[in-house]
Amino acid sequence: MACEREAGLAYGYSIARLIREGMRGHRGWEPAWRDARLAPAYDAVIVGGGGHGLAAAYYLRKNHGVDRVAVIERGWLGGGNTGRNTTVIRSNYFFPQSAAFYDFSLKLYEELSRELNYNIMFSRRGMWSLAHDRHGVDMLVRSANAMRINGIDAELCDGTEVLRRIPGLSPRRFPILAGLNQPRGGTARHDAVAWGYARAASRLGVDIVQNCEVTGFVIERGRVRGLRTTKGDVRTEAVGLATAGLTSVLAAKAGLRLPITSYALQAFVSEPVKPCLDTVVLSPATGTYLSQSDKGELVIGAGLDHFVSYAQRGSLPWMERAAAGVAELFPAFSRLRFLRQWAGTVDVVADSTPILGSTPVAGLYLDCGWGTGGFKAIPAGGWCLAHVLATGASHPLAQAFSLDRFTTGALIDEAAASGIEH
C-alpha cells in the first residue's frame, strides 16, 4: 500500500469515485500506472510490455510476492500484437494439454475485470466455426467430440439452426451445413487487458519502463546475470522474454536458436454500423472470421502472409480474400467500407503450441510461440511465466509446452486442429 500511495495509485475505480470525480471536474484522476525509471538491479525482469509480460509481472508480485520486478518495453505498452489483435477468446482446442491451459485462461478472463478493478469489456458472445462441405462437417464433429472429452462447452448445430442463430449469414455462395459454437467464447477489449494488468502491476510496485530496448544479455558460466538496455545495464538473475515476433531475434543475442518463424498477420475494421452481429463467426474454408466491436465496426481477420517478415504491415492478397469472404458469407456487408487495416508480427512455431518455460541459459525463460492466438492466453501465459520465474519449475499447465519438445519430438500439433488460430 505504501508504494501505491507514493505513486498516487491508492484509490480504486468505482461508481462512487466516478461520481466524486464528476462533481469536481475530473481533476483527481491519477495516471493508471507509474512511468518508472530503470533501477540498477531487480529480482526479476520481464522483457516485453504486451499482455503476457504485464500479466506475468502482476502475478509475480501477487501470487509469489517477488519484490523487485520490472517490465521493460522498447515502445509503448500494448503496442505489439496485444494492441493489434482481433480480440477473440476461446478454449476450443483439440489436445487435452492445450484445452486445459486455454480453458484456465478463459476462466481467468471471466473474472479479470473484477480481479484488476479495470473493465476489460469481456463479452461472452460465443464463437461459431462453420462447415461448408462434408469434410468441414467431419472436422467440426471431431472438434466437438474432443472439446466434450476435454470438458469444454461445445454446441454442434445443423445448418438450419446456424442460419437461425446468426442473422445475415447467407448460404447462397457457400452452403452452411453445420456450425460448432463455444458459448463461453467471446471477445475483450485488447488495450484494456494490457492497461488493466499494467495498472494492477504498478499498484503492486512493479516498475514499468517504456521506450527502453533490451539490446543484449550478460551471461556468465551459462547463467543470466543481467541485461543491456538502451537506458543502461541492469542486474538480475531471472529474465522472462515475452517479446512475440521478435523473440527469436532477441534470444539469438543470448546464443539461442529458437524454432520460431515470424510472419505478418493483418486485420481490418469496417466503418461503424448499428449492432447487427452478436457473436464471433469463423469460416475456415474462406479463411475469414469476423465479429462486431462495441463501437459498431466489423472486426475482420484473415490468415498469415505467406512470407517471412518483421514488418508490422500486411499485403493486398489477404485484404482481397478477407473482403471477398465477408461479402460472400454476409452479402448485406458488401457495401461497407474498410476504415482501417493493420498488422502485427506473430511468432509461429511448427505445431502452433506455445513455448513456455526454461531455456539452456539458466535464469532465462520464454513465453512465446503464440503465433496467431496468444491474446486469449494472456492471463494463463502470464500466470505460468510468473510461476517459472519465481520457482524455476514449470507450472503443471505449461509442462507440455517446453522448448525441449522440439528435440524429444513430443509436439502438440494444434496446427492441424483448429483452422485459423485466433
Q: What is the CA radius of gyration of the chain?
A: 22
Comparing C-alpha atoms, which of 303, 296, 260 is closest to residue 278?
A: 296
CA–CA–CA angle 377, 289, 191 (5° rounding) = 45
CB 97 → ligand FAD: shortest distance, Å? 17
- Closer residue to ligand FAD in complex, CB, 102/333: 102
CB 86 → ligand FAD: shortest distance, Å? 4
Nearest-angstrom CA–CA distance, 85 and 20: 35
- Closer residue to ligand FAD in complex, CB, 80/179: 80
Nearest-angstrom CA–CA distance, 341 and 269: 7
- Closer residue to ligand FAD in complex, CB, 137/246: 246
Composition of the chain by helix, strand, coil, percent to 5: 35, 25, 40
- Closer residue to ligand FAD in complex, CB, 136/379: 379
- Closer residue to ligand FAD in complex, CB, 145/230: 230
CB 358 → ligand FAD: shortest distance, Å? 17
Nearest-angstrom CA–CA distance, 73 and 212: 6
Q: Which residues bind ligand FAD (CB under 6 A)?
A: 47-53, 72-75, 79-82, 84-88, 213-214, 242-244, 246, 250, 265-267, 301, 343-344, 346, 370, 372-376, 422
- Closer residue to ligand FAD in complex, CB, 47/380: 47
CB 83 → ligand FAD: shortest distance, Å? 7
Decide if 103 contacts 151 (C-beta within 8 A): yes
CB 261 → ligand FAD: shortest distance, Å? 14
Nearest-angstrom CA–CA distance, 415 and 422: 11
Distances (CA, A) of 241 to 54, 55, 144, 198, 232: 11, 13, 34, 17, 18
- Closer residue to ligand FAD in complex, CB, 61/74: 74
CB 227 → ligand FAD: shortest distance, Å? 9
CB 192 → ligand FAD: shortest distance, Å? 13
Decide if 325 contacts 288 (C-beta within 8 A): yes
Contacts of residue 384, defined as CB under 8 A and 6 or more positions apart, other chains included, come to 101, 356, 367, 394, 395, 397, 398
Q: For the chain, how far is it from start to end, CA to CA, in angstroms?
A: 38
Beta strands in 249-337 (DSSP E): 261-270, 280-283, 288-292, 298-308
CB 5 → ligand FAD: shortest distance, Å? 29
User: Pairing mode, if any, of strands 127-131 and 280-283?
Assistant: parallel
- Closer residue to ligand FAD in complex, CB, 159/345: 345
- Closer residue to ligand FAD in complex, CB, 85/182: 85
CB 79 → ligand FAD: shortest distance, Å? 5
Q: Which burial class, exposed, middle or buried, applies to 37 when counting CB atoms under 10 A from its CB (0-12, 13-18, 19+)?
A: exposed
